[in-house]
Structure 1
Amino acid sequence: MIYYASAVGSVVLALLKETTTWHVHSLFKKGFNLMNQNGAIIFIGTNENGLFPFGISVDEQTKQKMMSHIQHNDEFCANRLKLRHAQFSIDLNTTIVEPRRNFHDADVEALRMCLMAYDFSDYVDSDFSLSRMTALKRSLSDADEMVLTQLEFLVGRGNGLTPTGDDILVGLLYSHFIQPFIVPVHFQSIKTVIAQERTTIISENFINLAIQGIFSSRISQLNDTVSDEAIQSLAEVGSSSGKDTLYGIYIGLIKGVNE
């Protein structure tokens, strides 16, 4: 049986050139993840949460059929533009999704105003309070600050495949690309903490791509469109991942933190 992808992230094609053997790492409602021996992840599933740079998109029916044949640790082998499982193959000869890096097009002030009106009260009495997160932002903007302890507190904190602290960090990184504030030395600080294996493999992949300025379509659409609809579409990703990411963007764009 051959199934056909509707879109493939360009990161996927690069990964498949590097590694031909992959195994099923995790399965969930919207699809499943493959992982190679280096810990790189490829997501295969529907695009309900947007398009991912390391994702292969399929329709709902195709996803259900594939998932009826697979289980944890099953092997997939890449051969040109096909991924082969013992029971089926996936044809990847389709639309290639390139990362959107047009950060200079973002209307930073409009995004800031939208987020100022958003309700982030859930974070007030949490581990991710405004004071703690703005302190982290200040540290990230100062090369003389030791930021490792703050990052170690954040990374991996929370539940799920992408813990809250990690999603906030991805949001902070996005805000940096549209309005720079992180000094170069602290990009290395972030890499150092990620290398400590403090969080999930899924989150490590998201953060490592975010460091390179590569984000999911629900985030990168903000480069082009700032609207209540765009904000809400990101907020609806996962149980709280989208809102956590928005909170990170909000922290990054708040005026007065570094001024």
Structure 2
Amino acid sequence: MNNLTLFGEGYSYLVPLLLNKSGNGFIHSRFANGFNIKLGDSLVFIGTNKNGLLPFGIHLGEAETRTAVSSVNNSDSAVWNQKTNSLEFQTFTISLEKAKQYKTVLTKLKSEQVFDRSFELFYSHLKTINEQTGLDVSIRDFIDKFQADCEQNWLGVESYLIMLIKAAKTSDELLMDKALRYFLGRGNGLTPSGDDMIVGLLAFDAVSGFLSTRFYEKLSELIEGESITTDVAKEYLRYALKQEYSSTVSDMVNALASGNDSNFKQVFRNLLGVGHSSGLDTLMGILIGMITSKTTTNN
């Protein structure tokens, strides 16, 4: 038992708080690049940093991740040993002794001029994407319609995107409720597309501040009070409500907020490459956030 020790490379500054609070957990879900541990009502991800540094992550190298993933099954126990600073599983241990602690930092939007320049740059990059989002929306078509500057006959998912933009600018709780309920839990996978999009929306708000406190409260009420989405999506949304994001998301909104376009293409590609459609769905949410912010400012 525990005859093999794997060493973590990095972990979120928030993880020790969860481990010390909950202690004992179990394997919640596993996949090629890692697995999630359920600790009380929270999750901790263990695996590679392929999708960025996660706010609830312990990251291992690729070889260590393969070993760990192949050695666990769903529902297996996981025990935090505070004395040795390690997680104990049935056949191995993950030590944090050599791991570096990290915290992603957000940059506040510099100016309206920076916003306008970033908005155009972001638009131009999005319009090069041919793929549909996880909710079967063409970002390119949506941008073209929105830029047409005339009354559009919005249908299907696009009509709810417009509703979300309106809900994000209003104090109308019924509108907020209807828009959020449409997107939360909508789509396939551990993080449904609608949830990834809401994370993107919140991420741009984190650097620009256009959403009301009530919007945050309404979202929190829905994910905490109802079984409206998956456990993993719920975890990402919980952190987003506290303005904690994966590094792929924070790097993208920081690039938009700072106006520093030297690494813009790289951070855009990094986020786009996350998951099957998670990155694209998050980019769509950031776009909705930028449109909302822009139209709110101009009204």
Select between 201-210 and 62-71 the one with higher mean Cα deviation. Answer: 62-71
Describe how 1:149-160 pairs up with structure 2 within 5 A. 149-160=178-189
User: Which residue is 1:98 aligned to?
Assistant: 103
- Verify: 1:139 aligned to 2:172, yes or no: no
User: Which residue is 1:211 aligned to?
Assistant: 241
Describe how 1:65-144 pairs up with structure 2 within 5 A. 65-80=67-82, 81-93=85-97, 94-104=99-109, 108-117=115-124, 118-119=126-127, 122=132, 123-124=137-138, 127-129=156-158, 131-144=159-172
User: Which residue is 1:16 aligned to?
Assistant: 19
| Length-normalised TM-score, structure 1 | 0.92
Q: Percent identity?
A: 28
Q: What letter corresponds to residue 159 of structure 1 in structure 2?
A: N
Select between 116-125 and 7-16 the one with higher mean Cα deviation. Answer: 116-125
Q: What letter corresponds to residue 215 of structure 1 in structure 2?
A: Y
In the TM superposition, residue 110 of structure 1 has moved relative to its aligned partner by 4.1
Match of 1:160, SS? Answer: coil
In the TM superposition, residue 105 of structure 1 has moved relative to its aligned partner by 6.0
- Verify: 1:36 aligned to 2:74, yes or no: no
Specify every segment of 5 or more residues in structure 1 that has no aligned partner in the other structure, as ranges: none
The structure carrying a bigger helix percent of its residues is 2
* TM-align CA RMSD: 2.0
Structure label with greater radius of gyration: 2
Q: Deviations over 1:166-204 (max 9, x none)?
A: 000000001111222211111111011112121110000
- Verify: 1:167 aligned to 2:205, yes or no: no
* Partner Cα distance (1:59, 1:127) in 2: 43
- Verify: 1:228 aligned to 2:235, yes or no: no
* Partner Cα distance (2:156, 2:196) in 1: 14
User: Which residue is 2:288 aligned to?
Assistant: 251
* Partner Cα distance (1:219, 1:212) in 2: 14
* Partner Cα distance (2:294, 2:8) in 1: 46
User: Which residue is 1:200 aligned to?
Assistant: 230
In the TM superposition, residue 137 of structure 1 has moved relative to its aligned partner by 2.2
Contact 1:114–1:228, Cα closer than 8 Å, also in 2:
no
User: Which residue is 2:55 aligned to?
Assistant: 53
